[in-house]
Amino acid sequence: MTPGQYPATRLRRTRQAPFIRSMVRETALTPANLIQPLFVAEGGLAGPVGSMPGVQRLTLEQLVAECRELVKLGVPAVALFPVTPQEKKSDDGAEALNADSLMVRSIKAVKDAVPEIGVIADVALDPYTSHGHDGVLNAQGYVDNEATCEILRRQALLYSRSGADIVAPSDMMDGRVNHIRQVLERDHRHNTLIMAYAAKYASAFYGPFREAVGSQANLGKGGKETYQMDPANTDEALREVALDLQEGADIVMVKPGLPYLDIIRRVKDEFAVPVAAYQVSGEYAMLKAAAQNGWLDERKAMLEALLCFRRAGADMILSYYSKQAAIWLAE
């Protein structure tokens, strides 16, 4: 038997007791790594999301109260997603540029009441378009990249002026980060961060989210494959990330999460920049359903899933479990 092999080397020695397991643990998960996505709505649109047990569409008052609780738990940021009434949706998503929109009022309300929490504002048109796409359509029904970027540029500036700390273009239009960075610089908003949804895949795991914001019915049986990435591709993700960084992104995101841990790892290894991962609505719904049926220990499975994001290279994780995770991590 050669030196260094069994029994001289027994890897189980460092697993034998909690004290040594904690000392050799390579990856840590803390509330500081978590971002809580929050849905905000008005009137009859507020209330529970059927396909996401435990998730609510919050009123403005509830939103502020929730942010206060999250700060106490050590969760440093929230990502806001508005629920737009059907009558305010249009082909061109004009409500996205309304200076008194629910999104604008939500940003202001949170920053006024809980200034210490980071506010991430989603920049995209799908909550506002009557067809459910992330951009405006041309005569052929194809999402017009340039026309959409012009609206996104103005939307991001509006949200930054309203107090958003981070604007997060989630649309996957080519060049939109450059458009946004340029307009922010011209407006002397040098410190507004851009969290680019850089590698966002055309995934089947978004269904519950679309129900939550009310875009699924508008989209119908249509898909977003002409602008979101093919789940079969990995090299393309690196090209997308490289372009967004060149255009001025501060943070790049991979979405969805657990099915794409390999993409997170490749992005972190290649670029060594802040990387976000999104544990999307379908992932949350699957864990919840399995837990409710007694098939999984929800606490253990959820914390393991979040830890896996960190191990893969994610610096920050958007998860609907963030608040609950922070509670459990404190125990």
**DSSP letter string, 233-285:** -SHHHHHHHHHHHHHT-SEEEEESSGGGHHHHHHHHHHH-S-EEEEE-HHHHH
Query: Which residue in 89, 224, 255, 288 is the catalytic one?
Result: 255
Residue 240 annotated as lining a ligand binding site: yes
Instruction: Give counts: helices (H), strands (E), the chain.
Output: 12, 10
**DSSP secondary structure code for residue 59 in this structure:** P
Residues 200, 268, 288, 323: which is the catalytic one? 200
- Domain boundaries, given as residue ranges, for the chain: 29-330
CATH value of 29-330 in 3.40.190.10, 3.30.830.10, 3.40.50.1820, 3.20.20.70:
3.20.20.70
Annotated active-site residue 200? The verdict is yes
Neighbours of 17 (CB within 10 A): 10
Q: For every one of its 331 residues, what pLDDT tens digit does the chain have, with 9 covering 90 and above?
A: 556 688 888 999 999 999 999 999 999 999 999 999 999 999 899 999 999 999 999 999 999 999 999 999 999 999 999 999 999 999 999 999 999 999 999 999 999 999 999 999 999 999 999 998 999 999 999 999 999 999 999 999 999 999 999 999 999 999 999 999 999 999 999 999 999 999 999 999 998 888 888 766 666 667 899 999 999 999 999 999 999 999 999 999 999 999 999 999 999 999 999 999 999 999 999 999 999 999 999 999 999 999 999 999 999 999 999 999 999 999 9
Is 111 assigned a catalytic role? no
